[in-house]
Structures are given as C-alpha cells and as structure tokens.
Copies of this chain bind each other. A is one copy, B any other.
C-alpha cells in the first residue's frame, strides 16, 4: 500500500532531513511542502512508512528520519540526478585541462571532486591491466645496475631498479631493449607473461642471464601493481558532518587501500552510477556513510573508478550529478591524451 502520497511524504522527509539535519515531524512537513492535507493524515502515512521500514524515529516523540531502506527508495525512484550548473561545468573543464601527466590528472580530479561535493573524494588510478605496452626502456645506471621503465598507452610509467648478476656491457642492454620492444609493443599487459615466456630461448646463450633477470623484475612488477593505487582528498570535509559512527573508523578505512577498493565496487558500465547506502556497503566500520561511485575510462574501455564518500544523510541528487560529470570529463581528458 505505498500510494503516491506516501511516496511524496517519503521524498519530503528525505529532502527536509538532508537539509536541516533534524528529525522531521508531521507539522513541519505540511508547512514546507504543500501536500494539501492535514498533519494528522501525514501522521498516518508516516506510521505506515515506519512499519514498512522506510523511516524511523530516534526516540518516541521525535520526528522521523529516513532509514537506509528509505534512502534507497528515494535514490531509486524518487529523485533524479541533478546536472551541474554551467559555471561548474566550465570550472571542471578548465581545471582538468591543465593537467600535465597521468599523476596530475588523478590529483586534480580527486581535489576537484572533493571541493565540488564538499565530501571525501576517492579516485582509483587507471588500471594497468587493461592498458597496453607503449614502450620499454632499459637505462644503465652503473656497471651492475640498470633501471627498467615501462610506459603504457594510458601514460602511466612503471619503473624498477634491476640488480644484475654480472657486469653487462651497453651493447647487450641495447639489444635486449630492442628485442623487448619488438615483441611487446602494443601488447596488452595481461598478455605480457605469455609473450616473454620463451624469450630467453630465442636469445644467444650469453644474453640469457641478463634477460632472465630483467624479465623476472618485469613480471614481478606486473603482479604487484595489480593492486591498484587509490588516492583520496577532502578529509577535512568529514570534520563538519557529524557521523553516527566515529570518524576514526572512516579515516582508517580511507587509508586502507584494500577497503577502499572494495568500497568503490566492481567495475560496471561507465555511465552508470553505483550508490551504496549505509549498511549496504561491505565494511562494518562504515555504517552511517554512503558511497557514490562511477567508472571512468578512455574511449569505451572501463579503466577505473572514482567516487565520493559521505554521511548517509547526503544530498544524493547533487552528489550523483557531480560524480557523473567528473567521471565523464576525466574520461574525455584521458581519451584525448
């Protein structure tokens, strides 16, 4: 029995509660929204909504507050994403356009998102796994050490110092570099292990120790970076919002890469927004917080995710609008570079 008016009541409750941060009562509701009925009627509706678990009262004789389930219904059916203003759009564009490299793009994005939403922003670095090899470079550092650099098409650079078993001359290094580039150029990172598996055998015997050492470092670096890097910004915004749960837990979660990963969630369609409300998210320390996330990527490939984290009591339409817009702009920037 959730007729239209009850839904309108729920929507009104969510909106009021989000803006005032106080439990909202029947009288205040009819005053602020013109529902055309009396407070008593609203009370009946509220009783039903409460019974169905969409709202709750903190104490007897207090107004109602949306539950996680209530927010969920609100997000799914009662609200629509609010697009950004023209000024905001332009600000995003100019701010992101100035980025000089991939690091810069990510840093700027996360700050931008934090400022725009006044919440904590989280951005995952573009995945390496769906990138391809652009170039491999070997730079001799000393007689027995060289630096191995791998550049991907997404502009990311992986570097490692390789300790060599023997003194190796420049010629050998140059040769190996050429061979590596020839066989790996354009190859997807996931395909690299296959490509190089039989590589030592195709080299003259005296080159094999060098090749083996370099390859082992290469493969190792691929595995290690599987765990993607995540950065956040805007922690100061947590200070204002009073959390039901201690904000210590929130800060801890933010510094725990693994937890963050899981919070951003699995990759989904880039244009789709994922919203996790309170208890829906897979980490007990974060009751009372919601996550709004979206994928981004250059072209049609989904590279990584970004989003914001804030109190359950957040302005979902606006937040979702900002996240979606930023995700799109970042995708554009990446596609263009």
Interface residues of A (CB under 8 A from B): 100-101, 134-135, 137, 139, 141, 147, 149, 151, 153, 155, 157, 159-161, 221, 224, 233-236, 238-240, 246-248, 251-252, 254-255, 337
The answer to whether A234 touches B255 (Cβ under 8 A) is yes
Residues of B within 8 A of A240 (CB): 248
In the bound complex, what is the Cα–Cα distance between A149 and B139 (angstroms)? 11
Chain B residue nearest to A135 (CB atoms) is B139
Contact A251 B236 (CB under 8 A): yes
Q: A134-B141, A235-B235 in contact; A157/B149 too (CB < 8 A)? A: yes
A101 and B161 contacting across the interface, CB-CB below 8 Å = yes
- Count identical subunits in the complex: 2
CB-CB under 8 A from A135, the residues of chain B are 139, 147
Shortest CB distance A241–B (Å): 10
A137 touches B137 (CB 8 A): yes
Determine whether the beta carbon of B221 is less than 8 Å from that of A235: no
A4 to chain B, nearest CB (A): 42
Report Cα–Cα, A143/B261, bound state, in Å. 37
List B contacts of A254 (CB < 8 A).
Answer: 235
Minimum CB distance partner of A224 in chain B = B100
Residue in B160, B234, B252 whose CB lies within 8 Å of A236: B252
Q: Is the CB of B224 within 8 A of A251?
A: no
A239 CA to B161 CA, complexed, in Å: 38
Instruction: Tell me the nearest residue of chain B to A239, going by C-beta.
Output: B248
Which residues of chain B are within 8 angstroms of A149 by Cβ–Cβ distance? 137, 149, 151, 157
Which residues of chain B come closer than 8 Å to A100, judged between CB atoms? 160-161, 221, 224
CA distance A235 to B239 in the complex (A): 12
The distance from the CB of A173 to the nearest CB of chain B, in whole angstroms, is 12
Apart from A100-B224, A233-B255, A238-B251, what 9 extra A-B contacts exist at CB < 8 Å? A101-B160, A137-B149, A147-B151, A149-B149, A234-B255, A236-B248, A236-B251, A239-B248, A240-B248
Please list 15 pairs of residues, one from A and one from B, whose beta carbons are closer than 8 Å in the complex, sorted by A's number: A100-B160, A100-B221, A134-B139, A134-B141, A134-B147, A137-B139, A147-B155, A149-B157, A151-B159, A157-B157, A157-B159, A235-B255, A236-B252, A236-B255, A239-B246
